[in-house]
């Protein structure tokens, strides 16, 4: 089901890695490193439409971590987000870079109110499904806005990872709670309403008429390795990224990844 990562780093991912590997790199640079595997998957979609200007819809895109670089690559990008503060930051960021990104206040469930059906070649939905009131209407709206042949990129929290993280930190009761809870929550203090296993996420996406083409594990190691170690060792960020890339397709390591990245296609019309 998963397609392997490309052997060569894309120029964009090389730039993100270089940012994180600089001495004294900023927290933003390290966050970029943690999204590099996701970028590799998105880059594969772009490579498949090389030369085309795509209509991209970033649902819950916030301050533009994905939207602005995609606009830099020449694509038409719209961000839909419920937070006016996040959209204001997005607009400032886009202005600073000198690119155009359309911003619209809204959410996944109400996507039909702000986006035309069949209007997007690529829809990003990263870190959203964990928070929506109801997953099914949100996914239905996401699928509807795709053109035939369009791709949905979903990034969501992995249920198995929180069990491991709670156990490693000594919260064994919370680890057991997350293992048994239908939503994968570790208890009353959990900031996320739900998490998913890979099988659950694949089934949910497939139930809305999309064909899953790839499932990758994201941050299998990055959240377990102390940041000070990455900072102290020259080349450590690059080596960590390479480890993340080569294990992203392995089911054994995907099972413990902090996040799951699913790429799914709306079938073309016959």
Strand partners, 79: 58, 103
Q: Which of 19-28, 55-64, 213-222, 232-241 has the lowest mean pLDDT?
A: 19-28
Q: 26-35, 61-70, 103-112, 136-145: which has the minimum mean pLDDT?
A: 26-35
Q: Look at residue 37 in the predicted model and tell me its pLDDT.
A: 84
Q: Hey, which CATH number is domain 11-158+196-265, 3.30.1360.40, 1.10.3450.40, 3.40.50.150, 3.30.565.10?
A: 3.40.50.150
Q: Where are the domains of the chain?
A: 11-158+196-265
Q: Average pLDDT, stretch 139-147?
A: 96
What integer pLDDT is reported at residue 25 of this predicted model? Answer: 41
Residue 251: burial class (beta carbons within 10 Å; 0-12, 13-18, 19+): exposed
Q: Is the confidence at residue 14, as pLDDT, over 90?
A: no
Residue tagged 């480890």 (tokens): 243
If residue 124 lies in a helix (H) or strand (E), which one and from where to where?
Answer: strand 120-126
Q: What is the mean pLDDT of residues 110-139?
A: 94
Phi-psi region of 240 (alpha: psi -120 to 50; beta: other; left: phi over 0): alpha
Helix, strand, coil fractions of the chain, as percent rounded to 5: 45, 20, 40
pLDDT at residue 22 is higher than 50: no
Phi-psi region of 98 (alpha: psi -120 to 50; beta: other; left: phi over 0): left
State the CB neighbour count (10 A cutoff) for residue 243.
15
> Is residue 164 pLDDT above 90, yes or no?
yes
* Distances in whole angstroms, Cα of residue 59 to Cα of each of 16, 49, 56, 111, 258: 22, 21, 10, 8, 20
pTM, full prediction: 0.87
The predicted-structure confidence for 78-93, as pLDDT tens digits, reads as follows 999 999 999 999 999 9
Q: Indicate whether 76 pLDDT > 50.
A: yes
CB 260 within 8 A of CB 218: yes
In this prediction, residue 19 carries a pLDDT of: 40
């Amino acid at each position: 089901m998963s397609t392997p990562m490309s052997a060569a780093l894309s120029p964009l991912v090389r730039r993100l890695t270089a940012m994180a590997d600089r001495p004294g790199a900023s927290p933003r640079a390290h966050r970029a490193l943690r999204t590099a595997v996701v970028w590799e998957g998105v880059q594969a979609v772009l490579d498949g439409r090389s030369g085309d200007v795509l209509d991209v819809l970033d649902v819950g895109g916030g301050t533009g971590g994905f939207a602005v670089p995609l606009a830099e690559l020449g694509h038409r990008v719209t961000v839909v987000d419920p937070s006016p503060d996040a959209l204001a930051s997005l607009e400032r960021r886009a202005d600073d870079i000198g690119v155009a990104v359309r911003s619209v206040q809204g959410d996944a469930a109400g996507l039909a109110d702000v986006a035309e059906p069949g209007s997007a070649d690529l829809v990003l939905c990263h870190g959203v499904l964990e928070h929506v009131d109801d997953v099914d209407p949100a996914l239905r709206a996401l699928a509807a806005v795709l053109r035939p042949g369009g791709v949905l990129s979903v990034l969501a929290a992995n249920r198995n990872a929180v069990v491991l993280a709670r156990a490693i930190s000594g919260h064994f009761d919370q680890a057991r709670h997350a293992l048994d809870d239908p939503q994968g929550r570790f208890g009353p203090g959990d900031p996320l309403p739900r998490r998913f296993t890979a099988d659950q996420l694949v089934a949910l996406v497939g139930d809305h008429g999309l064909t899953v083409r790839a499932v990758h594990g994201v941050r299998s190691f990055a959240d377990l390795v102390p940041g000070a170690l990455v900072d102290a060792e020259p080349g450590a960020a690059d080596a960590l990224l390479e480890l993340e890339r080569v294990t992203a397709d392995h089911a054994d390591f995907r099972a413990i990844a902090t996040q799951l990245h699913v790429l799914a296609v709306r079938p073309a019309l016959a």
